[in-house]
Each structure stands twice: as C-alpha cells, then as structure tokens.
Amino acid sequence: MPSESARSTRKYPCERCPLHRRKSFRDFSDGELAFVSAFKRGELSVDKGATVLSEGTKTPHLYTVLEGWGFRYKLLPDGRRQIVNYVMPGDLVGLQGTLLDEMHHSVEALSPMLLCVFERDRLMTLYREHPELAYDVTWLASREECVLDDNLLSVGRRSAVERLAYLVAFLAGRAKASGLIPEKARPAMAITQQHVADTLGLSLVHTNKTVRKLAERKLLRWRGGGCEVLDEEGLAALAGWEKDEARPRPFL
C-alpha cells in the first residue's frame, strides 16, 4: 500500500499538527482542515545550521514551521550580513519566493527544524476555494511587515543597549507564544552573539560588551551558548516597548 507508506513517513498528519494543540493558534473548521491536509505535500526536516532557502533561487515550495527555529537574512556583495527576522513555529516561510517569483533573502536553521511543505503552484487554489485561509495568509504577511517596521525602528533609532534589550524581549515573547520554549520556565534561547550582532547592526565585539552591560544589570545572562532572560519587563521597559497581547493567530 504505497499511499499508506507515504503517509506514514510523516511525523504529523494535519489532524495531529503540533500547532493546533497550542492555544495561541486559531482552530480550523473541518472543511479547512481537510483542504490544508490535502494542500500539505510532505515534511522537510533540516539540521541546525542548514540553509532552508537561498536568496536568488526559486523553490517550488512554501513552508510552515512546525518545530525549531531559524533566521532570515540578506547579504551585501562583500559579505556583510543583516538578519532581518526570525522564523518560529506557525510562521510561513517562502511566501515571497512564491509571489515575487524569486527569493530575496535566505533562511538558515538555528536548531533542527521540521517544516510542513506546500506547493507554490497550488496557492492560487487555496485563494479560490478558501477565502478565509487566503485572508490568513495576508494576515501573516501583514504581521511580518509590522515586525520588520519595529526592527527597523530599533536598528535605526535605538542605542546598542536598547536594541539588545528590545531584541531579547521580542524573541522571548515570540518563542513563548509559538511554543518554541515552555511558557512558564525562564526563557532561554540557543543563539550566538554573532547572530545578535548581525541582527542589531553592531560588531561582534561591541555586542559582547553590550551583553555584558545587560548582564550586570541582571536583565539577562549569557551561558552555555545561549541567552537566558532574567527580567523580561525590565528589558521591555529599557527598550521603551510594550508587547501586544497574544490573541489567537492564524497559520496554515
């Protein structure tokens, strides 16, 4: 039974999608679930450090992150790198490549990742048959835009200390909401100071000294190749930022 065996290579059929279990994500109707289930064409799992999507290429795929996390980045010809955002469970990856024909950024895994695979050619079918889901796709694109606006404000107008505080609070908040890290425990994220530097538009050396400053103020701690958040509210206050309340959000 080939179809059965093909099915069985999937870790998660849509009915048991790990995202549905989380209260921060919205529910599907039966019709939607059936459609998405058929829309899903497989799963992609990649190692930590692997490139998921590459600038300048055209993939036939579109993904939703199921497990793990990674980052989106762009490079200048001489190698300078800017991380523009992070991708976490529930995020749609590669939509730009689908709509604009070609990827304008790359995506790399920060941990082992599991992604749900869709086919870009069938996105129009989704738009035709499930307007509510199409609306959700636009919602996701719009929220990404909103996050980018915030990041731009940060990089353009905040000092190094404020930028770091904002980034850490932002990542911790999203990681909790997406189920990447437990909601109750102290947030901890496996990330390198080089990544932080490339996100904030700072040098590695200065990033290190800035981390040190926030550690002295007992707002965070750096240990074992990762960042531990000690005082989420203190960080947010320092950045002059308030997290918007987490209402159930859509996903595919």
Select from DNA, a copy of itself, none the partner in contact with residue 44, using the beta carbon and a kind-dependent cut-off of 5 to 8 Å.
Answer: none
For DNA, the closer of residues 108 and 136 by Cβ is 108
18 makes contact with a copy of itself (CB under 8 A): no
Alpha-carbon separation of residue 36 from 44, 67, 86, 109 (angstroms): 16, 18, 24, 25
Alpha-carbon separation of residue 133 from 33, 39, 84, 127, 130 (angstroms): 10, 12, 26, 7, 5
Q: What pairs with residue 40 in β-bridges?
A: 118
The DSSP output letter for 158 is: S
48 makes contact with DNA (CB under 7 A): no
Are 64 and 116 in contact, with CB atoms under 8 Å apart? yes
72 makes contact with a copy of itself (CB under 8 A): yes
Find the binding residues for DNA in span 172-231 (CB under 7 A).
192-194, 201-212, 222, 224-226
Per-residue binding string, a copy of itself, 160-199, x by CB under 8 A, is: --------------------------------------xx
For residue 43, which phi and psi values (nearest 5 degrees)? -130, 145
Candidates 24-32, 133-141, 212-220, 224-232; binding stretch for a copy of itself (CB under 8 A): 133-141
Nearest to 17 by CA among 1, 6, 28: 28
For DNA, the closer of residues 137 and 219 by Cβ is 219
Alpha-carbon span 81 to 184, nearest angstrom: 34
Residues near a copy of itself, by CB under 8 A: 72, 74, 76-78, 80-82, 84, 95-96, 99-100, 104-105, 123-124, 127-128, 131-132, 134-135, 137-139, 141-146, 148-153, 155-158, 198-201, 240
